[in-house]
Structure 1
Amino acid sequence: MKKGLLLTVVSLVVVGSFLATGCAPETTPTTPTTPAEPAGEVYHAVWQDIDPAGQAQWFAIVNTCERVEAASNGRLIIEPHPEGEIVPRNDVTPAVADGVVQIITNNPAMDQGRIGPATYMLTASGLPAGPSTIECLAWLYRGGGIDMLNEAYKDYAYCVGASAGAAELFCHSKKPLSTAADFKGLKFRTMGMWAEVLSQYGAAVTTVAGSELYSAVERGVLDAFEFGPPSTNWVYGFHEICPYIGLPGIQSPGYTKPVLVNKEFFDGLPADLQSILRHECMALSLDSYNLVAYADAEAMQNYEEYGTKIFYVEDSFQEDIAKRTRELC
């Protein structure tokens, strides 16, 4: 009896399903939808970086511009430009202040003449024997770093976030520079607090733009220099003119490049677009750090395959660098 009842119930369900299928109205195939048109005014901005196209931090900036456009439904469109395409590398700060460009990533060490010694503490060139990149970002977003940047740049722009990178190479050179004595009389390019520390070791320190370093070494203007992480330096081709690279990058264990926005442009954005820009520039910090760290590993393999020689800074020299940096702070 139970078996017969069960078969009856199953039969009714099957029949019902056929009836439902047969009676259902025909459906019209869906067609792909096109993106919605921007709702409201569309805002345009130009963003200039201080590093060349083709390296990891540049790709992170391009990613950020694309995310901003998507998140704003096309209401905020940012056009990225690499180093020097609109203004020279060292002129990006006055350019953003004057509205020549609306957004920049910069290195505060280039602005010592504009904002004073505060540049030493703003981490874009790293702090010798100082914090890692993650520690820099924690200070920036949780420890009052952005407030400090806004105070330092109050006459120029707003800080809304930062790009970030991994530890830099100690240097590119024609010979090993493992000890303090190796720097005496050496014509060396750097900037920021590291320039002051190296001067104490007798180095002849100068500041040269990244785009001019290759020719400066070729012409004998420089004997050695530090610039950026392995992946950035590889793009510049520095391995072609200097047979040595040094590790670890104690002069810059971590760094960030603040994103500065023209005040009038930012104040003219609706509140939701301001929020989108801030949040995407915070996302830039992690995106750029990940891209740089991975690209650096690839670049170190490239240096090895090219035949570049690696030397290591002696422990006693590193300890003295840390001591002298603390004294300057």
Structure 2
Amino acid sequence: MVMERRSFVRHAGLAGVLATGAAPAVVNAQAQVRWRLASSFPKSLDTLFGAAELMARKVSDMSGGKFQISVHAGGEIVPALQVVDAVQGGTVECVHTAPYYFFGKDETFALGCAIPFGLNSRQMSAWMVEGNGLKLMREFYRNYNIINFLGGNTGAQMGGWYRKEIKSTADIKGLKIRIGGFAGRVIERMGAVPQQIAGGEIYSALEKGTIDAAEWVGPYDDQKLGFNKVAPNYYYPSWWEGGAQVDFYVNTKAYDALSSENKAILEAACAVSHVDMQAKYDAKNPIALKQLVGSGTKLFRFPKDVMDAAFKESHAVYAEISAKNPNWKKVYEDLVIFRRDQNLWFRFAEAGFDDFMQAQKL
């Protein structure tokens, strides 16, 4: 009887055996995976902090609950601006942050997020996904025990909130401004005093007068953080953030330990979060801007001499960094070449369409 059963299994194959009920089904059980994610953003921001929550939810959904990521706001596990050290050292398996916060470690971090007069959001995604951006940044991040995944984009940002009007470059001198990442180095050359302050701490600094001005993202987030209550003058555009990309950083050891299925799930979940973030901003910013202006916010465009001075100083900084930082030079030169072709294309198709449509009374 035993010999007959073995012969049947051998000739019928596993599928046939399972179909007849002659043998118990074999279940390929995935091991349970539990990760922690440290965010650089406060829970109050459903756009930025919410992007990490969405990613974690998708990971759970696609894995049938076997891959769980708990999401923690800035300060819960580590301070908001120390998340890179946490993921590099394995304190947490992953983080969600704006790469340019860490340009002090190496200026190259900023190229993975936004630099003054860099790429807009669509160009940034194109460089990352179809150009060399993701490949080059991943080569760089290996030095920090990190693999990165695109984690959202804010689109073009606003230029921030100011206690006093900015009428010329003379008004920049001596200005104490909270400004994110790399742009601080540029505006410092214009005479300002940049301050690196995490998002959850900006309001109190502006309210107390510790700073004279602050930039964050755009109308929706800025309104939630209440900046209009302590600084009435709102400027645009953010010449330093034409399309700021946010990233998920994953510890390479933790990533390598994942099954191929969970790696695919993680990548897909990050991609969903990346698209969702800008969709939220594009949908919510117009409404918030109208509400802000309706409640007394004064809207101004930066004077041309401020823009020209910022452009000049930005490229002077880039030349200096390229001369001393080979990591930066390698990535930056590729971005410049890609930007040149992108701007040629956008100049005709996108800008032509946008100029006409925005002049219409619809």
Q: What TM-score, normalized by structure 1, do the two folds share?
A: 0.82
Contact residue 115 and residue 241 of structure 2 kept, 8 A: yes
Which position in structure 2 is the counterpart of 1:89? 80
Could you say what secondary structure the match of 1:279 adopts? helix
Cα deviation 1:251-287 (Å, max 9, x = unaligned): 2111101110112211111011101111221222111
> What do residues 160-190 of structure 1 show as CA deviations (whole Å, max 9, x unaligned)?
2222112221011111224212101111121
Q: Could you tell me which amino acid in structure 2 is paired with residue 213 of structure 1?
A: I
**Counterpart position of 1:104:** 95
User: Partner residue of 1:29?
Assistant: none
% identical aligned pairs: 25
Asked whether the 8 Å contact 1:178–1:312 carries over to 2, the reply is no
Match of 1:129 among 117, 140, 145: 117
Counterparts of 2:88 and 2:126 in 1: how far apart (Å)?
27
How far 1:91 sits from its partner (Å)?
0.8
In the other structure, the counterpart of 1:52 is: 42
Residue of structure 1 equivalent to 2:240: 251
Please say which structure displays the higher CA radius of gyration: 1
Letter in 1 for 2:178: R
User: 2:128 matched to 1:140?
Assistant: yes
Q: Tell me what 2:221 maps to.
A: 232
Q: Contact 2:179/2:194 (CA < 8 Å) preserved in 1?
A: yes
Specify which of 201, 207, 213 is matched with residue 218 of structure 1.
Answer: 207
1:245 partner SS: strand
> SS at the partner of 1:105?
strand
Q: How much does 1:223 deviate?
A: 0.6
Q: Which runs of 5+ in 1 are unaligned?
A: 1-36
State the distance in 1 between where 2:160 and 2:37 align: 29
- In 2 relative to 1, CA 156–241 (structure 1 residues): closer, same or farther, beyond 3 Å? farther
2:341 is the alignment partner of 1:328:
no
**Which aligned pairs between 1:286-325 and structure 2 lie closer than 5 A?**
286-325=275-314
* Map of 1:190 onto structure 2: 179
CA contact (8 A) 1:162 1:282 kept: yes
2:55 is aligned, of 50, 56, 64, to: 64
- Contact 2:121/2:244 (CA < 8 Å) preserved in 1? yes
- Amino acid of the structure 2 residue aligned with 1:182: D
CA distance in 2, matches of 1:275, 1:152: 22
Matched, 1:149 2:124: no
Q: Deviations over 1:36-63 (max 9, x none)?
A: x993211111122212223223223222
Distance across 1 between alignment mates of 2:169 and 2:109: 25
Q: Which residue pairs with 2:328 in the alignment?
A: none
TM-score normalised to structure 2 length = 0.75
- Once the two structures are superposed, residues 170-222 of structure 1 have per-residue CA deviations (whole angstroms, 9 ceiling, x without a partner) of 01111122421210111112143311221122112222222222222223221
Partner residue of 1:271? 260
SS at match of 2:315: helix
Which amino acid is 2:169 matched to?
A
Question: How many pairs were matched up?
Answer: 290
Task: List alignment gaps of at least 5 residues for structure 2.
Answer: 1-26, 319-362
Q: Is 1:105–1:163's contact at 8 Å kept on the other side of the alignment?
A: no
Give the match for residue 241 of structure 1. Answer: 230
Which AA in structure 2 matches 1:307? G
